[in-house]
């Protein structure tokens, strides 16, 4: 069963449950089924493991990007999406692949907030250019080789 089939089935179950009067599931009318609303964006945790470039391509296929993080509160909201999978190391949209130590968000958001682990980013062996969250016991950020396969979080703006 593909990820899109599972997603469609989950959305159908949620719709049927809501129609039966059950209120356990909250679905924002501003976000697509399965996505979580936080402020002006919708977020989706993707459990399928992929390299950073493939995770970004996957997000783009849903008219989204790997998630940028603008504040501590937003980081906590994004982190909650990973809780169901034990806070695994997860791709978000930061990269310094274009120029070492010049970090940017793939969606163009200014890189003004960071939650780096102590001593990070370190560009170990000169090959770490992509940002993973939930690293180590403090669940902070780490730079890692972009071909590592991890789950990811996609984000897109709420269209108003």
Profile the chain (160 residues) by mean pLDDT over runs of 10 residues.
43 39 48 94 97 98 98 96 93 95 95 96 92 96 97 92
Q: pTM of the prediction?
A: 0.82
Q: What is the pLDDT of residue 13?
A: 37
d(CA 10, CA 22): 15
Q: What is the pLDDT of residue 9?
A: 40
C-alpha distances in Å from residue 107, one per residue of 27, 143, 145: 25, 18, 20
Q: Are 79 and 133 in contact (CB under 8 A)?
A: yes
Q: What is the pLDDT of residue 23?
A: 34
Neighbouring CB atoms inside 10 A of 27's CB total: 16
Neighbouring CB atoms inside 10 A of 160's CB total: 5
Q: What is the pLDDT of residue 16?
A: 33
Q: What is the pLDDT of residue 160?
A: 64
């Amino acid at each position: 069963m593909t990820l899109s089939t599972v997603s469609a089935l989950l959305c159908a179950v949620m719709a049927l449950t809501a129609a039966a009067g059950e209120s356990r599931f909250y679905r924002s009318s501003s976000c697509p089924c399965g996505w979580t609303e936080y402020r002006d964006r919708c977020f989706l945790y993707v459990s399928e493991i992929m390299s950073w470039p493939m995770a970004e391509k996957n997000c783009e296929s849903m008219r989204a990007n790997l998630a940028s993080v603008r504040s501590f509160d937003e980081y906590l909201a994004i982190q909650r999406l990973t809780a169901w999978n034990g806070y695994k190391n997860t791709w978000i949209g930061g990269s310094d692949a274009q120029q070492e130590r010049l970090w940017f968000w793939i969606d163009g958001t200014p890189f003004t907030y960071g939650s780096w682990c102590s001593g990070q980013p370190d560009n170990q062996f000169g090959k770490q250019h992509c940002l993973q969250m939930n690293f180590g016991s403090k669940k902070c950020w780490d730079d890692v080789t972009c071909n590592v396969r991890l789950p990811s979080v996609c984000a897109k703006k709420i269209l108003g």
